[in-house]
Amino acid sequence: MIQIDLENEEVMIEGPEGQERHALASREAFEIISDAWLRCGWDNKYVYSFTWLGRPVIQMPEDMLRIQEVIARVKPDLVIETGVAHGGSLVFYASLFKAMGRGRVIGIDVEIRPHNREAIESHELFPYITLFEGSSIEPSMVKEVSSQIHPGEKVLVILDSKHTKDHVLAELEAYAPMVTPDSYVIVEDGCMEMMAGAPRTEADWSWNNPIAAIEAFVASNPDFAIEEPEFAFNEGNVTKRVTYWPKGYVRRLR
Ligand SMILES: C[S@@+](CC[C@H](N)C(=O)[O-])C[C@H]1O[C@@H](n2cnc3c(N)ncnc32)[C@H](O)[C@@H]1O
Protein backbone atom coordinates (compact mmCIF):
# COMPACT_ATOMS: atom_id res chain seq x y z
CA MET A 1 0.00 0.00 0.00
CA ILE A 2 1.18 3.54 -0.68
CA GLN A 3 -0.05 6.84 0.72
CA ILE A 4 0.75 10.20 -0.81
CA ASP A 5 0.51 13.07 1.64
CA LEU A 6 0.82 16.28 -0.34
CA GLU A 7 0.26 18.50 2.70
CA ASN A 8 3.19 17.03 4.62
CA GLU A 9 5.11 16.39 1.39
CA GLU A 10 5.82 12.72 1.94
CA VAL A 11 5.10 9.27 0.57
CA MET A 12 4.55 6.22 2.74
CA ILE A 13 4.88 2.68 1.47
CA GLU A 14 3.96 -0.48 3.35
CA GLY A 15 6.17 -3.34 2.23
CA PRO A 16 7.30 -6.74 3.48
CA GLU A 17 9.99 -4.99 5.54
CA GLY A 18 7.54 -2.62 7.22
CA GLN A 19 6.68 1.01 6.55
CA GLU A 20 9.00 3.39 4.72
CA ARG A 21 8.52 7.15 4.56
CA HIS A 22 10.11 9.29 1.90
CA ALA A 23 10.09 13.03 1.30
CA LEU A 24 8.07 13.91 -1.78
CA ALA A 25 11.19 15.61 -3.16
CA SER A 26 13.21 12.38 -2.95
CA ARG A 27 14.15 10.08 -5.80
CA GLU A 28 12.61 7.17 -3.85
CA ALA A 29 9.22 8.93 -3.69
CA PHE A 30 9.38 9.62 -7.43
CA GLU A 31 10.10 5.94 -8.14
CA ILE A 32 7.29 4.67 -5.88
CA ILE A 33 4.74 7.02 -7.43
CA SER A 34 6.01 6.25 -10.94
CA ASP A 35 5.57 2.49 -10.43
CA ALA A 36 2.01 3.08 -9.22
CA TRP A 37 1.36 5.44 -12.15
CA LEU A 38 2.66 2.84 -14.64
CA ARG A 39 0.32 0.22 -13.18
CA CYS A 40 -2.63 2.66 -13.14
CA GLY A 41 -1.78 3.60 -16.73
CA TRP A 42 -1.84 -0.08 -17.68
CA ASP A 43 -5.32 -0.54 -16.17
CA ASN A 44 -6.52 2.57 -18.05
CA LYS A 45 -4.88 1.63 -21.39
CA TYR A 46 -3.05 4.97 -21.33
CA VAL A 47 -0.61 3.96 -24.07
CA TYR A 48 -3.53 3.48 -26.45
CA SER A 49 -4.08 7.23 -26.69
CA PHE A 50 -1.21 8.68 -28.73
CA THR A 51 -0.38 9.31 -32.36
CA TRP A 52 2.79 10.38 -34.13
CA LEU A 53 2.27 12.48 -37.26
CA GLY A 54 -1.18 11.01 -37.67
CA ARG A 55 -0.54 7.32 -36.93
CA PRO A 56 -1.46 5.61 -33.63
CA VAL A 57 1.65 4.62 -31.68
CA ILE A 58 1.25 2.25 -28.74
CA GLN A 59 4.03 3.51 -26.48
CA MET A 60 4.72 5.43 -23.30
CA PRO A 61 5.84 8.94 -24.30
CA GLU A 62 8.96 8.74 -22.12
CA ASP A 63 10.03 5.55 -23.89
CA MET A 64 9.77 7.38 -27.22
CA LEU A 65 11.79 10.32 -25.96
CA ARG A 66 14.48 8.07 -24.51
CA ILE A 67 14.80 5.90 -27.62
CA GLN A 68 15.09 9.13 -29.62
CA GLU A 69 18.10 10.04 -27.42
CA VAL A 70 19.71 6.70 -28.23
CA ILE A 71 19.00 6.96 -31.95
CA ALA A 72 20.39 10.51 -32.01
CA ARG A 73 23.59 9.23 -30.38
CA VAL A 74 24.04 5.92 -32.26
CA LYS A 75 22.93 7.40 -35.60
CA PRO A 76 21.95 4.08 -37.20
CA ASP A 77 21.63 3.77 -40.96
CA LEU A 78 18.93 1.18 -40.46
CA VAL A 79 16.37 0.42 -37.74
CA ILE A 80 14.67 -2.97 -37.95
CA GLU A 81 11.46 -3.14 -35.92
CA THR A 82 9.30 -6.22 -35.34
CA GLY A 83 5.66 -5.36 -34.57
CA VAL A 84 4.09 -2.66 -36.76
CA ALA A 85 0.40 -2.49 -35.67
CA HIS A 86 -0.86 0.93 -36.88
CA GLY A 87 2.61 2.03 -37.99
CA GLY A 88 3.04 4.93 -35.54
CA SER A 89 6.41 3.75 -34.30
CA LEU A 90 7.68 3.27 -37.86
CA VAL A 91 6.57 6.81 -38.72
CA PHE A 92 8.27 8.06 -35.53
CA TYR A 93 11.64 6.50 -36.50
CA ALA A 94 11.16 7.69 -40.08
CA SER A 95 10.60 11.25 -38.83
CA LEU A 96 13.84 11.10 -36.82
CA PHE A 97 15.69 9.91 -39.90
CA LYS A 98 14.24 12.68 -42.02
CA ALA A 99 15.33 15.24 -39.39
CA MET A 100 18.78 13.65 -39.11
CA GLY A 101 19.28 13.47 -42.86
CA ARG A 102 20.12 9.76 -42.73
CA GLY A 103 18.58 6.37 -42.05
CA ARG A 104 15.60 4.18 -42.91
CA VAL A 105 13.38 1.71 -41.08
CA ILE A 106 12.15 -1.81 -41.83
CA GLY A 107 8.91 -2.94 -40.16
CA ILE A 108 7.86 -6.58 -39.86
CA ASP A 109 4.43 -7.76 -38.77
CA VAL A 110 2.66 -11.10 -39.00
CA GLU A 111 -0.47 -9.24 -40.13
CA ILE A 112 -0.55 -5.75 -41.60
CA ARG A 113 -4.23 -4.92 -41.77
CA PRO A 114 -5.26 -3.39 -45.13
CA HIS A 115 -6.34 -0.02 -43.62
CA ASN A 116 -3.05 0.23 -41.72
CA ARG A 117 -1.01 -0.70 -44.79
CA GLU A 118 -2.85 1.88 -46.87
CA ALA A 119 -2.30 4.62 -44.27
CA ILE A 120 1.40 3.78 -43.87
CA GLU A 121 2.02 3.50 -47.61
CA SER A 122 0.33 6.84 -48.28
CA HIS A 123 2.16 8.63 -45.44
CA GLU A 124 4.58 11.37 -46.50
CA LEU A 125 7.37 9.55 -44.62
CA PHE A 126 6.80 6.21 -46.39
CA PRO A 127 9.95 6.72 -48.52
CA TYR A 128 11.89 5.99 -45.30
CA ILE A 129 9.90 2.80 -44.54
CA THR A 130 9.94 -0.77 -45.88
CA LEU A 131 7.20 -3.20 -44.79
CA PHE A 132 7.42 -6.98 -44.58
CA GLU A 133 4.44 -9.16 -43.73
CA GLY A 134 4.98 -12.52 -42.03
CA SER A 135 6.21 -13.93 -38.76
CA SER A 136 9.38 -12.26 -37.58
CA ILE A 137 10.97 -15.59 -36.64
CA GLU A 138 10.28 -17.42 -39.93
CA PRO A 139 13.72 -18.31 -41.32
CA SER A 140 12.75 -16.93 -44.76
CA MET A 141 11.78 -13.59 -43.15
CA VAL A 142 15.03 -13.38 -41.19
CA LYS A 143 16.96 -14.09 -44.42
CA GLU A 144 14.99 -11.49 -46.38
CA VAL A 145 15.50 -8.80 -43.73
CA SER A 146 19.18 -9.63 -43.39
CA SER A 147 19.60 -9.25 -47.15
CA GLN A 148 18.36 -5.64 -46.87
CA ILE A 149 21.43 -4.59 -44.85
CA HIS A 150 24.04 -2.91 -47.02
CA PRO A 151 27.73 -3.51 -46.23
CA GLY A 152 29.02 -1.11 -43.57
CA GLU A 153 25.58 0.00 -42.38
CA LYS A 154 25.05 0.71 -38.68
CA VAL A 155 22.02 -1.30 -37.53
CA LEU A 156 19.74 -0.98 -34.48
CA VAL A 157 16.97 -3.52 -33.80
CA ILE A 158 13.71 -3.01 -31.89
CA LEU A 159 11.58 -5.99 -30.81
CA ASP A 160 7.90 -5.18 -30.26
CA SER A 161 5.91 -8.11 -31.69
CA LYS A 162 4.78 -11.13 -29.67
CA HIS A 163 6.05 -10.75 -26.11
CA THR A 164 6.28 -14.37 -24.93
CA LYS A 165 9.66 -15.59 -23.64
CA ASP A 166 10.14 -18.13 -26.46
CA HIS A 167 9.21 -15.70 -29.22
CA VAL A 168 11.38 -12.86 -27.95
CA LEU A 169 14.28 -15.26 -27.40
CA ALA A 170 13.89 -16.54 -30.98
CA GLU A 171 13.83 -12.93 -32.22
CA LEU A 172 16.95 -12.12 -30.19
CA GLU A 173 18.78 -15.13 -31.66
CA ALA A 174 17.70 -14.14 -35.19
CA TYR A 175 18.09 -10.35 -35.15
CA ALA A 176 20.73 -9.50 -32.52
CA PRO A 177 23.50 -10.72 -34.88
CA MET A 178 22.39 -7.99 -37.33
CA VAL A 179 23.12 -5.28 -34.73
CA THR A 180 26.46 -3.51 -35.14
CA PRO A 181 28.89 -3.08 -32.21
CA ASP A 182 27.96 -0.19 -29.86
CA SER A 183 24.41 -0.26 -31.16
CA TYR A 184 21.45 -1.91 -29.41
CA VAL A 185 18.76 -4.47 -29.70
CA ILE A 186 15.93 -2.86 -27.75
CA VAL A 187 13.37 -5.24 -26.30
CA GLU A 188 10.06 -3.63 -25.49
CA ASP A 189 7.37 -4.44 -22.92
CA GLY A 190 9.44 -6.05 -20.17
CA CYS A 191 6.82 -4.33 -17.97
CA MET A 192 4.72 -7.50 -18.37
CA GLU A 193 6.56 -8.89 -15.36
CA MET A 194 5.39 -6.07 -13.09
CA MET A 195 1.85 -6.06 -14.52
CA ALA A 196 1.22 -9.76 -13.70
CA GLY A 197 -2.13 -9.97 -11.92
CA ALA A 198 -3.48 -6.74 -13.46
CA PRO A 199 -6.50 -6.67 -15.82
CA ARG A 200 -5.77 -7.91 -19.39
CA THR A 201 -2.82 -10.06 -18.27
CA GLU A 202 -2.19 -13.81 -18.28
CA ALA A 203 -1.34 -15.91 -15.23
CA ASP A 204 2.10 -16.79 -16.66
CA TRP A 205 3.30 -13.20 -17.24
CA SER A 206 5.46 -13.33 -14.11
CA TRP A 207 7.89 -15.61 -15.99
CA ASN A 208 6.71 -15.73 -19.61
CA ASN A 209 7.87 -12.26 -20.61
CA PRO A 210 10.54 -10.35 -22.54
CA ILE A 211 12.85 -9.91 -19.52
CA ALA A 212 13.11 -13.70 -19.14
CA ALA A 213 14.16 -13.84 -22.82
CA ILE A 214 16.69 -11.00 -22.46
CA GLU A 215 18.31 -12.60 -19.42
CA ALA A 216 18.53 -16.02 -21.12
CA PHE A 217 19.99 -14.37 -24.24
CA VAL A 218 22.72 -12.32 -22.54
CA ALA A 219 23.65 -15.29 -20.32
CA SER A 220 24.70 -17.27 -23.41
CA ASN A 221 25.85 -14.39 -25.67
CA PRO A 222 28.82 -12.58 -24.08
CA ASP A 223 28.96 -10.05 -26.93
CA PHE A 224 25.73 -8.54 -25.57
CA ALA A 225 24.88 -6.95 -22.22
CA ILE A 226 21.88 -5.27 -20.62
CA GLU A 227 23.05 -1.69 -20.41
CA GLU A 228 21.03 1.37 -19.46
CA PRO A 229 21.85 4.21 -21.84
CA GLU A 230 22.81 7.33 -19.90
CA PHE A 231 20.37 10.22 -20.04
CA ALA A 232 21.64 12.64 -22.67
CA PHE A 233 20.77 15.55 -20.37
CA ASN A 234 19.97 15.57 -16.67
CA GLU A 235 19.85 18.55 -14.37
CA GLY A 236 17.25 16.87 -12.17
CA ASN A 237 17.09 14.28 -9.43
CA VAL A 238 15.63 11.40 -11.46
CA THR A 239 18.08 8.82 -12.77
CA LYS A 240 15.87 5.90 -13.82
CA ARG A 241 13.60 5.68 -16.84
CA VAL A 242 9.85 5.58 -16.15
CA THR A 243 9.34 2.83 -18.62
CA TYR A 244 7.45 -0.07 -20.09
CA TRP A 245 10.81 -1.45 -21.23
CA PRO A 246 12.78 -2.30 -18.07
CA LYS A 247 16.11 -4.02 -18.87
CA GLY A 248 15.19 -3.46 -22.53
CA TYR A 249 18.42 -1.90 -23.80
CA VAL A 250 20.77 -4.70 -24.83
CA ARG A 251 24.02 -3.31 -26.18
CA ARG A 252 26.32 -5.14 -28.56
CA LEU A 253 29.73 -4.82 -26.95
CA ARG A 254 31.90 -6.14 -29.82
C1 LIG B 1 2.44 -4.02 -29.65
S2 LIG B 1 2.02 -4.16 -31.33
C3 LIG B 1 3.26 -3.17 -32.10
C4 LIG B 1 3.14 -1.73 -31.75
C5 LIG B 1 4.01 -0.77 -32.55
N6 LIG B 1 5.40 -1.14 -32.55
C7 LIG B 1 3.86 0.61 -31.97
O8 LIG B 1 4.79 1.07 -31.28
O9 LIG B 1 2.82 1.25 -32.18
C10 LIG B 1 2.48 -5.80 -31.66
C11 LIG B 1 2.36 -6.26 -33.10
O12 LIG B 1 3.09 -7.48 -33.22
C13 LIG B 1 2.50 -8.25 -34.22
N14 LIG B 1 2.91 -9.66 -34.10
C15 LIG B 1 2.41 -10.63 -33.29
N16 LIG B 1 3.05 -11.80 -33.51
C17 LIG B 1 3.98 -11.56 -34.46
C18 LIG B 1 4.95 -12.36 -35.12
N19 LIG B 1 5.07 -13.66 -34.87
N20 LIG B 1 5.75 -11.78 -36.04
C21 LIG B 1 5.64 -10.45 -36.32
N22 LIG B 1 4.73 -9.66 -35.75
C23 LIG B 1 3.90 -10.19 -34.83
C24 LIG B 1 1.00 -8.02 -34.02
O25 LIG B 1 0.31 -8.30 -35.24
C26 LIG B 1 0.95 -6.55 -33.59
O27 LIG B 1 0.66 -5.72 -34.70
Q: pLDDT confidence of 22, banded at 50, 70, 90?
A: very high
* pLDDT tens digits along 50-59: 999 999 999 9
Question: Are 195 and 221 in contact, with CB atoms under 8 Å apart?
Answer: no
Ligand 1 pocket mutation, candidates 161, 163, 165, 189, criterion most atoms within 8 A of CB: 161
Pick from 245, 57, 75: nearest CA to 156: 75
CB of residue 108 inside a 6 A radius of ligand 1: yes
Probe residue for ligand 1, chosen from 46, 110, 115, 192 as the CB with the greatest number of ligand atoms within 8 Å: 110
CB 109 less than 6 A from any atom of ligand 1: yes
3-state secondary structure of 16: coil
Give me the mean pLDDT over the 94-113 stretch. Answer: 98
Instruction: State the pairing for strand pair 129-133/104-109.
Output: parallel
Confidence of residue 17 (pLDDT cuts 50, 70, 90): confident
Q: What is the pLDDT of residues 160-195, one digit of tens each?
A: 999 999 999 999 999 999 999 999 999 999 999 999
Confidence of residue 15 (pLDDT cuts 50, 70, 90): confident
* Distance of CA 145 from the midpoint of ligand 1 (Å): 16
Q: In the predicted model, what is the mean pLDDT of residues 224-252?
A: 97
The structural domains of the chain, ordered by start, are: 2-43 (no CATH), 51-252 (3.40.50.150)
How large is the greatest C-alpha to C-alpha distance in the chain, in angstroms?
A: 61
